[in-house]
Amino acid sequence: MSERPPTRRPATFKLDDAGVIVTDPANESRPARGTVHVIPESETPQLPVALEPTLVPAEPRFRWGTLFWSAVGGLVLLGAGVGVTQLVEDLFARSESLGILGLALTSAAALSLIVVSAREAIGLMRLSAIEDLHRRAASAITSDDRAESRAVLHDLLKIAHQNPHLARARATLSHHAGDIIDGADMVRLAERELMTPLDQQARLLISAAAQRVSLVTAISPRALFDVVFVFAASLRLIRQLARLYGGRPGTLGMIRLMRHVIAHLAITGGMAASDSVIQQILGHGLTAKLSQRLGEGFLNGLLTARLGLAAIDVTRPLPFAALPRPSLTDLAKDLLRRRREEVDEA
């Protein structure tokens, strides 16, 4: 049997010692006795990095439509201003007291317009901040960026400061803000602490709105009244959900929210999902127990609930990562239990 070559026992050394020699990997000479030879490993070649294609910005073009509507709006404002000025002058020419009254009414109208415009602008800015916070939170969860998660938490606490019911949750998150927690876990912790009571309240709002729509449309004699009531109930529900999650939309904000909710329904296939749930629930003999009007009311209530779920996705400042997303099936079960109670009472 061949003898095993002697092995050197493990030892520690410093790189600046005289007995430590850095040699070239290609050098095959035997090291001198009592010295330590360090052979540096060759660096791995840098692989070519695929660069994303540079997006060439579109050439700026003159927008005639924007110029047209801007000019029309300017003419309308000028016409209204000239008309009001002429009216005040005519009132002063007729009577000084009438002129003073007209001037006071004009000042009140101008002040009210400024206040309403400022509130609309603040509401739009708040909705934009919530949408931006939602995107940043989703990005922080994906990248697990600690710094970005702390920034998201800071902005989220400022939004939640308006809700006094979240005082304990805000104190808990403020206590954990300086802890060593990964970025994704910090966002999930904020979602569990802040969004849990808000999601429960949102589910109660959606369930109440769906039951209200189901009951009213089941007993209303006119289809036109059904359409008007469902539209008004949907607007009220979206406004309530937006305020619950920190937004206070005005008229322009509600138009923007309705557009986003409808776009979300179109993208996520909400109506198709509603159809599958409706077929699953109504296909188990429920149509034989409910009258036609009650069945239509149940359908309208279910569609209202689906609209509310889409509104949650739009108005919620954090994506669903740590908490389960409210499902249409659970809301449909609540609505179905209410309809069965009404049938039994009848």
Would you give the DSSP letter of residue 346? Answer: -
Residue 162 binned pLDDT confidence (cut-offs 50, 70, 90):
confident
Domain coordinates in residue numbering, the chain: 196-345
Q: How far apart are CA 28 and CA 23, in angstroms?
A: 9
| Mean pLDDT, all residues of the chain | 76
Residue 38, H or E segment: strand 36-38
Residue 246's region, left for phi above 0, alpha for psi from -120 to 50, else beta, is left
Helix 223-244 × helix 196-219 angle, to 10°: 170
Reduce the DSSP state of residue 21 to 3 states and report it.
strand
**Position 184 pLDDT exceeds 50:** yes
Mean pLDDT, range 222-238, rounded to an integer: 84
> Using one digit for the tens of pLDDT, what is the confidence trace for 295-335?
677 777 788 888 888 888 888 898 888 888 887 777 766 66
In sequence order, the β-bridge partners of residue 36 are 20
Radius of gyration of the chain, Cα coordinates, nearest whole angstrom: 34
- Closest by Cα among 130, 245, 137, 139 to 187: 137
**Position 124 pLDDT exceeds 60:** yes
**Position 58 pLDDT exceeds 80:** no
Structural contact between residues 295 and 282, judged by C-beta atoms closer than 8 angstroms: yes
- Tokens, residue 337: 């239990």
> If you search the block for the tokens 């929210």, which residue do you land on?
257
In percent, the amount of the chain with pLDDT more than 90 equals: 5
**Position 104 pLDDT exceeds 90:** yes
| pLDDT in the model for residue 105 | 92
> Using one digit for the tens of pLDDT, what is the confidence trace for 28-49?
666 666 666 666 665 544 444 4
User: Which residues, 6+ apart, have CB-to-CB distance to 164 below 8 Å?
Assistant: none
State CA 84 to chain mean position distance.
43
